[in-house]
A and B are shown apart, each in its own frame.
Chain A
Amino acid sequence: MLKLKYLLPLLLFVVLAVFLAIGLRLNPKDIPSPLIGKPAPAFSLPILATPEKTLSQQDLKGRVWLLNVWASWCVSCRQEHPLLLELAKRKLVSIVGLNYKDEASAAQQWLQKLGNPYDVSIMDSDGRVGIDYGVYGVPETFVVDKRGVIRYKHTGPVEPGDIERIFLPLLQTLNLEPA
């Protein structure tokens, strides 16, 4: 009985260490989005390539689409860019770029230099649509199903392996769902 008394601090330490170890592995930037399972917030924004035309989320009904939030000033967007180009080649999904708080000329230069994975990019110059989507760390990627419901959100750059591990299986299931 006396032995347990001396072991107690050690046990407490182990419990504490386990909690701290779990805490260290969590990503504090990864905040669960309340938008998952909800309809994609409405927008109607000018298209980067043809600013006289606009695109709204209604135009995308009936197909699975990605909304990738990017900007030419965003450093980690560069990092995920090749992965998006690769995903675009597979023709599994429409990729919509939300050009967040950027300048049209800088954005267009960026796409010319690095390649354009987007079926269409729209300009959110003042970041209001970004707020509606709860954007706080560019890049972010939303997966929207055929009925216009957000099914997944990826905060931060898409890392190598994420496409195979997360996006492809999800997109395949969503593509099979009825419109």
Chain B
Amino acid sequence: MNKVIILILCLLALPATAVVEYHPFDDPAREQAYQTLISELRCLVCQNQTIADSNADLAKDLRQQVYDMLQQGKSQQDVVDFMTQRYGDFVMYRPAFGIKTALLWLGPIVFLLIGIVTVVVLARQKKVAAQTGLDSKQLGKLNEILQQGEED
């Protein structure tokens, strides 16, 4: 029985650790901006968490900073500028497109294109091989012979 009680108490205690400080907003638009910002800013102490998720002291300070700036009437972009001026592009989970971040944004597209081109080229070769019953080596030889024939 005691074990069951302890288990229930443990389960009840779990949500308590997830509580973060409460920031009251009068304006729902500002609150929305706050939620968006804190889920897009990276916690630099625990780098794979947003400042919304992190319990680190710095994350708490940065949430406070975001809250204060929004309450002062600053725009979402103002907060983003403030953070990147101090912590660099790395602080944003989705950094602005620029010279430094171009590879980051375009890299996946480039790799996807390489993949598509490779697949298309291979598929064409296979198709030709299937139609003629010749492999690429034999096809090459065939082309050579045909060319020679034309030249003669």
Asked if chains A and B come from one complex, the reply is yes
- Which A residues are closer than 8 A to B by beta carbons? 1, 28, 31-35, 101, 126-127, 130-134, 136-137
Asked if A1 and B137 sit within 8 Å, CB to CB, the answer is yes
| Tier of interface size on chain B | 10 to 19
Indicate which residue in B47, B57, B88, B137 contacts A134 across the interface (CB closer than 8 Å).
B88
* Contacts known (A31-B88, A34-B84); A131 close to B62, Cβ less than 8 A: yes
A137-B88 in contact given A1-B137, A131-B61 (Cβ < 8 Å): no
**Is B44's CB under 8 angstroms from A136's CB?**
yes
12 additional contacts, CB 8 Å, given A101-B57, A127-B61? A28-B47, A31-B87, A31-B90, A34-B85, A34-B86, A34-B89, A35-B86, A126-B61, A131-B61, A131-B86, A134-B86, A136-B45
Q: How far is the CB of A177 from chain B (nearest CB, A)?
A: 25
Lowest 5 CB-CB distances: which A-B pairs, in order?
Answer: A136-B44, A134-B86, A34-B88, A134-B87, A31-B90
Whole-angstrom CA separation of A168 from B8 in the bound complex: 60
Q: CA of A127 to CA of B68 in the docked complex: distance in angstroms?
A: 14
Determine how close the nearest CB of chain A comes to the CB of B91; give it in whole angstroms: 9
Binding site for A on B (CB under 8 A): 44-45, 47, 57-58, 61-62, 65, 84-90, 137
User: Known contacts A28-B47, A101-B57, A137-B45: does B88 contact A33 (CB below 8 Å)?
Assistant: yes
A32→B100 CA distance, assembly (Å): 12
